[in-house]
Amino acid sequence: MSNQVYQVFEEVEFKAKLLAQYWNNFHIEISQHLPETYQPEIQELSQNLETALNQLIDELRHPTLTLATTGTTSSGKSTLVNLLCGAEIVPVAVSEMSAGTVTIEYSPEKSLIIHETPGALWECGEWRGISEDRIYQRLYQVMISYIENRETQPNLPCPQSTIYYPFRLLKEFNLELPEGTKVRILDLPGLAYVGDAGNADVIKQCRQALCIVTYNSAETDSQKVKSLLQEVVQQVKELGGSPARMLFTLNRIDVFRADRNWPETENRFFENTIRSIKNELTEQLKEYTEEIEKLEVVKLSTWPALLSLQVQNHDDIYSADACKKADNHFNGLIEDILEDLSRNTQKWNRHDRNRVAEALWQKSYAGEFQQNLKDHINQHFPQLVIPQIIERFNIAAGNAITEWSTQTTTAILKVQRKAINRSVKTFHTLG
Ligand SMILES: Nc1nc2c(ncn2[C@@H]2O[C@H](COP(=O)(O)OP(=O)(O)OP(=O)(O)O)[C@@H](O)[C@H]2O)c(=O)[nH]1
Ligand SMILES: [Mg+2]
């Protein structure tokens, strides 16, 4: 992390301390013009400011970087979260799957918490030292239970879960983060369900996150593509249109491999979709035209990228299972290599598997995606973590102090102006 970034953090801390100093001088000064009865109020404001200042300093020294996958239903958000984690821990399915928010906090020890929510129809609790597979299965049961019951119980709060996991985003991306930074990943439901009961804070969480907006490239129905775009625009609107907080991925881009005219069809789709996204956004958010032009869009195929990691797993059974899936679903990405390999994936040796893994990684654009994400985080780190720290500070004390100071000063000035007017009048009468 560059010196410049440290300077930004130090500057915010310095300004907040300066504000506290101004307040100290101000309230001592203004107390002379106020009756004693104001003292408890002033004391309370000072106390709150001190607590908020300590909190701000602590948060600046231990900032939290949040990454959230957002986008339309079945666009591959959860698969992407699994890719960032390097393991299959959040449930994935062909049709709508995710329900509620799953927060993944970095920790060397693995554990799962399914939080108690009112009327929960599923098992809540905490499981420590849990395996990847058990995390997946438990979350799967919870989500299915929610999805099956929400029709008949529209007010059923959606499930909220937290996973503690040593994810690869932190272990292997070589992010240049300041010491003490916490990183967490959020797996969110499809945009259409963001309004579900209990999901209201999803949008709030997105505002504080770097959103990886996933777009389903496999959707070809023009009507659906249109509504997909609308949903994405809505999402960007909610986020305030800031490009620092968004990275667009055209996911499931592997579908174009089946085309006779690949890569021409893929490139055309890529260019056209970027244009449509930007046009639609500019149309609806004219005030952000300049920022929208700077929006980053990358190609990706998350599932084969994840399979590439799984194929390289040291556990032979796990790796063999991934080889089978790669052979079944992504023939088009590994066809050159398949010519040299046995039809029976069980017989692939480590060298064969490494070749397959390499091809999957390369053809899914995973390397480019990873580099892009890394650059984006390194480039925008202060904007990604500082605004919410300042907002919390303002809510806790900053706003109240500013308001109180303005109101009190105005009131005192009013009283003084009246007194002056009275003196002037008296002066005139005397005259
Ligand atoms: N071909 C292909 N399929 C993918 C890719 N990524 C995900 N999928 C498949 O797309 C389907 C949806 O994936 P999910 O990760 O569950 O999508 P999601 O956006 O989390 O879905 P919801 O949370 O239910 O909105 C699954 O069947 C995945 O296996 C990809 O890159 N290529
Ligand atoms: Mg999902």
More confident residue, 358 or 207: 358
pTM of the full predicted structure?
0.90
Axis-axis angle for helices 316-329, 302-311 (nearest 10): 150
Q: Decide whether any atom of ligand 1 lies within 6 Å of the 252 Cβ.
A: yes
The CA distances from residue 89 to 78, 202, 266, 282, 300, in Å, are 9, 20, 30, 37, 20
Token pair, residue 98, equals 């995710």
Cα-to-centroid distance, 204 and ligand 2 (Å) = 19
What is d(CA 187, CA 130) in angstroms, rounded to the nearest whole number? 19
pLDDT (0 to 100) of residue 212 = 92
Average model confidence (pLDDT) for the chain?
Answer: 89
In this structure, which residues have their CB less than 5 angstroms from ion ligand 2? 77-78, 98
What is 62-318+362-387's CATH topology?
Answer: Rossmann fold (3.40.50)
Q: Decide whether any atom of ligand 1 lies within 6 Å of the 140 Cβ.
A: no
Cα-to-centroid distance, 12 and ligand 2 (Å) = 37
Token pair, residue 315, equals 């556990």
- The string of DSSP codes covering 30-93 is HHTTS-GGGHHHHHHHHHHHHHHHHHHHHHHHS-EEEEEEEESTTSSHHHHHHHHHTS--S---
What is d(CA 272, CA 177) in angstroms, rounded to the nearest whole number? 35
- Does pLDDT of 235 surpass 80? no
Q: Decide whether any atom of ligand 1 lies within 6 Å of the 77 Cβ.
A: yes
Q: Decide whether any atom of ligand 1 lies within 6 Å of the 66 Cβ.
A: no
Relative to the CA of 188, which ligand 1 atom is closest? Answer: 23
Instruction: Read off the pLDDT of residues 120-153 as tens digits, 9 standing for 90 and up.
Output: 999 999 999 999 999 999 999 999 999 999 889 9
What is d(CA 192, CA 74) in angstroms, rounded to the nearest whole number? 11
Cα-to-centroid distance, 251 and ligand 1 (Å) = 9
- How many Cα atoms are found within 13 Å in the side-chain-facing hemisphere of 357? 18
- According to DSSP, the residues that pair with 182 across neighbouring strands are 64
pLDDT (0 to 100) of residue 136 = 98
Q: Decide whether any atom of ligand 1 lies within 6 Å of the 216 Cβ.
A: no
Q: Decide whether any atom of ligand 1 lies within 6 Å of the 217 Cβ.
A: no
Q: Decide whether any atom of ligand 1 lies within 6 Å of the 302 Cβ.
A: yes
What is d(CA 55, CA 47) in angstroms, rounded to the nearest whole number? 12
pLDDT (0 to 100) of residue 174 = 84
Query: Domains of the chain: which residue ranges?
Result: 3-60+394-420, 62-318+362-387
pLDDT (0 to 100) of residue 220 = 77
Share above pLDDT 70 across residues of the chain, in percent, rounded to a whole number: 94
* 101-106: strand order across its sheet: 125-128, 111-114, 160-165, 101-106, 182-187, 64-71, 210-216, 246-251, 297-299
pLDDT (0 to 100) of residue 202 = 66
pLDDT (0 to 100) of residue 325 = 96
The pLDDT-based confidence of 240 (bands split at 50, 70, 90) is: low
